[in-house]
Structure 1
Amino acid sequence: MSVDSTPVDWEKARRIAYEAGRVAAGPVNEVPLAQADGRTLAEPLSALTDLPAFPTASIDGWAVRGGAPWRPVGRVLAGHTPAPLTDDGTCVEIATGAMVPAGADALLRVEESRQAADGLVTGVPRSAPEWRLPGEEATRGEQLLPAGTAVDPAVVGLAATCGYETLPVRSVPRAAVLIFGDELLTGGVPGAGRVRDSLGPQVPGWLRRHGAHVDPADVTGPVRDTLDAHVDALRHALATADVVCTTGGTMHGPVDHLHPALAALGAEYLVNTVAVRPGFPMLLARLTDPDGRSRFVAGLPGNPQSAVIALVSLVAPLLAGLHGRELPDLPHVTTGAAVAGRGGYTHLALAALDPDRGTATPVGHVGSAMLRGLSRAHGFVVVRPGTQAAAGDRVPFLPLPLYPGERP
């Protein structure tokens, strides 16, 4: 197993993680629409029919033929097929969403019409058509969404409109979390040399927002600070999980057993430290099952902010690949204040978005062991190596994740 610890450029590390996930993307499953939210389309979504499939009334009123006055000859409600209008001077009452009868020249809004005592209808139809034409939204066979699209409620609704009952989607990657560190408390107030574990409670939520499935039983720890305990915990988690995130132990201290444990399991390093601050001692390793299936171990640093940076830098791209999604380009923002560089390292600076000013401004309390700043931030301003950002500069922005399939 390679143990090269030369820090990898941050953007390159993201791409390595993504490509590894894309190669290992799970099988395709056909699931009912009700189970598709949060999944990823494995095939393009195409229209099964014209949308709308027939001329559809946009108003409540009258479908008329010829000039006024019009003699009502029937009613058309949504869900019915009307008889054609064949005689000038006739009309039918029509409801929004109903099929417009053949032979109709126009639709007249009910609020802009009058019906006399003898039943005759008068009024002036608007010049613009008051119905939707077949194929106005899509034509039969037209591709509506490409493979790799994240399925959200809007996508589910579109599929239902087209007439789909199931969708071909990628399987959801399963993740597990291992917490390392004998000094950690899982309850109570920190003190007497021991600190409260903050990663066990929060990392599963970040993973779920990136589309991973994490059961409460898949969070284990603190794992005892011995090599055997680390190997056993990793082996157990890898038996069911596609991605195992560990917290702490990514360096080479006296009780840092992650690297020896990975060696004992025959893991292959994909990334071993990243040129980013905070969070550089992160790693991503791959293990290959006898059947060729890949499983991954993401080593997150023990400091909380550093761990989250490792998660959004390596695990998020990995999960995007495992889902079969594209790795999105980073949006750009205008800095609301200066952001220092970190020499030869990429600097990820926690920042809050101000939608009124259209800026991203660094927040306070951003030490690698702190979470106060993280709780008020929307993401990270990205300052590339060898540069710094002045107030008003346009720079890349790495958003913190929303729920799976949710649009920023």
Structure 2
Amino acid sequence: MHEGAPAGTGWWEARRRAHRVAAPLGVTRVPLAAAAGLVLAEGVTARAPMPAFDTAAMDGYAVAGPGPWRLCGRVRAGEEPRTRLRAGEAVEISTGAQVPPGADAVLRVESARRDGGLVRGPVPDPGTHIRPTGEDAAAGALLAPAGVRVGPAMLGLAASCGHDTLAVRPRPCVTVLVTGDELVRFGPGGAGRVRDALGPMLPSLVEQLGGSPAAPRYVDDTPGSLTAAVSAAGAESEVVVVTGSTSVGTTDQLRRLLADRGARPVVDTVACRPGHPQLLAPLGDQRWIVGLPGNPFAALVAVHTLLGPLLDGLTGRRLPTLGTAVVTGEVRSAHGVTRLVPVAWDDDGASVVAGHRSAFLRGVALADALAVLDPGWTSGSTARVLPL
């Protein structure tokens, strides 16, 4: 089935613009324990060769020359070899230990036989079971470039090559302003009243996308209330997110606020469903305002369209490339419009999850990803997918 196409910036272009306009924030240096989830502002380099010494890759015997070999000691991990091996000599060695000078190879323990003070076994080829100095990386080698988000493996890598701190971009502070006199914050909605879903949802989403969320603030629909709230939030945060005030109704104040400030939007509506009435505009030096629709699923789509790429740009992270999957399911289409729908992984790719109307979060709450269905998509064809 087809619907009429809304005007606005194309979804892919809106995403690119939001990333492109954001200049990375300044650089700070933090201990490894505080770096998880942040983005590298400088590359991570090897402070010494990795490994830093010739290392035994197996438990066994470091041997020199042809056998049998006279056993003349042992080396455990963490110890420094005391002697240089000569032809016909061996030392017992453990995995991870430093191979003594003069050793040609390591004869693994399963292939060796102890005979009094002698070790017998097949003569290994030179270099067997030895990890040579610098095999993984030479001193000074770039191991990870700037712009990479720090995860557990990155922390381990940085520690293994001698770093105690990392240069990172700080998380941008994000304040969410929730508008709408019809909203209630506790219990179920009622006659004319709707339970707020965005206040509980958006802070964790902001944190997941690399921002530092402030506590949501609730703004009534009286004239001037949004202007005061935006001014206060903009003095404290790099990004102000406004929900439910992006349309052109009598209570929708955001566009009037931007016009009064002379702020020209970078993106003003997006040709996608849901989430068409979303916008991005400058709020001042290194300050941005993102307008989200009031409907919860539409707001989530807008977050991934504009706010996520904006936060990537502010933290110096590249715009992520979306993977592809075969997507199956029944989706209402519209000419010239990108549809974003929740999908769950299955054996053949991904299938559309039911319950994804603009105001309903059931489908996306159960989904693994959002499928980005460009115009012309048909069930069973390939689409880009944005992990949730």
Q: Same fold (TM over 0.5)?
A: yes
Identity between Structure 1 and Structure 2 (%): 44
1:230-275 C-alpha deviation (Å, 9 max, x unpaired)? 1111111111111111110111112112222333444331111111
Query: Which residue number corresponds to residue 178 of structure 1?
Result: 177
One-letter code aligned to 1:18: H
> Distance between the aligned counterparts of 2:319 and 2:36, measured in 1?
19
> Distance between the aligned counterparts of 2:246 and 2:78, measured in 1?
63
Query: Which residue number corresponds to residue 383 of structure 1?
Result: 373
User: Once structures 1 and 2 are overlaid, which stretch shifts more, 320-329 or 102-111?
Assistant: 102-111
1:104-147 C-alpha deviation (Å, 9 max, x unpaired)? 1221223433333x333223365571121112111222222222
1:341-378 C-alpha deviation (Å, 9 max, x unpaired)? 21121111221122x32x12111111100011111112
SS of 2:212 mapped into structure 1:
coil
Decide whether the 8 Å contact of 1:339 with 1:388 is kept in 2.
Answer: no
Query: Which residue number corresponds to residue 298 of structure 1?
Result: 290
Query: Which residue number corresponds to residue 246 of structure 2?
Result: 250
One-letter code aligned to 1:263: A
One-letter code aligned to 1:331: G
**Which of these residues, 342, 348, 363, is aligned with residue 334 of structure 2?**
342
> Distance between the aligned counterparts of 2:326 and 2:137, measured in 1?
38
- Note if 1:120 corresponds to 2:109: no
Query: How many Å apart are 1:336 and its aligned residue?
Result: 2.4
User: Once structures 1 and 2 are overlaid, which stretch shifts more, 59-68 or 178-187?
Assistant: 59-68
Query: Which residue number corresponds to residue 49 of structure 2?
Result: 50
**Which of these residues, 349, 361, 368, is aligned with residue 371 of structure 1?**
361
Decide whether the 8 Å contact of 2:70 with 2:118 is kept in 1.
Answer: yes
> Distance between the aligned counterparts of 1:133 and 1:389, measured in 2?
54
Decide whether the 8 Å contact of 2:176 with 2:216 is kept in 1.
Answer: yes
> Distance between the aligned counterparts of 2:227 and 2:321, measured in 1?
37
Query: How many Å apart are 1:171 and its aligned residue?
Result: 1.8
1:9-50 C-alpha deviation (Å, 9 max, x unpaired)? 1111111110112x2x10011222222111111122222222
SS of 2:266 mapped into structure 1:
strand
> Distance between the aligned counterparts of 1:87 and 1:296, measured in 2?
70
Query: Which residue number corresponds to residue 3 of structure 2?
Result: none
**Which of these residues, 354, 378, 382, is aligned with residue 394 of structure 1?**
382
1:196-248 C-alpha deviation (Å, 9 max, x unpaired)? 11110011111111100114xx3111x11112221111111111111111110
> Distance between the aligned counterparts of 1:305 and 1:318, measured in 2?
19
- Note if 1:276 corresponds to 2:262: no
Query: Which residue number corresponds to residue 405 of structure 1?
Result: none
SS of 1:369 mapped into structure 2:
coil
Query: Which residue number corresponds to residue 140 of structure 1?
Result: 139
> Distance between the aligned counterparts of 1:86 and 1:379, measured in 2?
59
Report the CA distance shift for 1:255/1:125 in structure 2 as closer, same or farther (over 3 A).
Answer: farther
Query: Which residue number corresponds to residue 159 of structure 1?
Result: 158
Matches of residues 317-332 of structure 1 in structure 2 within 5 Å?
317-332=309-324
> Distance between the aligned counterparts of 1:98 and 1:360, measured in 2?
48
> Distance between the aligned counterparts of 2:195 and 2:261, measured in 1?
30
Q: How many residues align?
A: 382
SS of 2:15 mapped into structure 1:
helix
Query: Which residue number corresponds to residue 226 of structure 2?
Result: 230
One-letter code aligned to 1:243: V
One-letter code aligned to 2:216: V
> Distance between the aligned counterparts of 1:17 and 1:66, measured in 2?
64
> Distance between the aligned counterparts of 1:86 and 1:182, measured in 2?
83
Decide whether the 8 Å contact of 2:85 with 2:100 is kept in 1.
Answer: no
> Distance between the aligned counterparts of 2:362 and 2:379, measured in 1?
24
Decide whether the 8 Å contact of 1:109 with 1:125 is kept in 2.
Answer: no
Decide whether the 8 Å contact of 1:250 with 1:281 is kept in 2.
Answer: yes
Decide whether the 8 Å contact of 1:64 with 1:107 is kept in 2.
Answer: yes
Query: How many Å apart are 1:87 and its aligned residue?
Result: 2.8
Question: What TM-score, normalized to structure 1?
Answer: 0.89
Query: Which residue number corresponds to residue 10 of structure 2?
Result: 9
Report the CA distance shift for 1:294/1:6 in structure 2 as closer, same or farther (over 3 A).
Answer: farther
Unaligned runs of 5+ in 2: 1-5
> Distance between the aligned counterparts of 2:42 and 2:326, measured in 1?
37
> Distance between the aligned counterparts of 2:283 and 2:17, measured in 1?
15
Decide whether the 8 Å contact of 1:107 with 1:125 is kept in 2.
Answer: no
Query: How many Å apart are 1:334 and its aligned residue?
Result: 0.8
Unaligned runs of 5+ in 1: 401-408
> Distance between the aligned counterparts of 2:123 and 2:273, measured in 1?
66
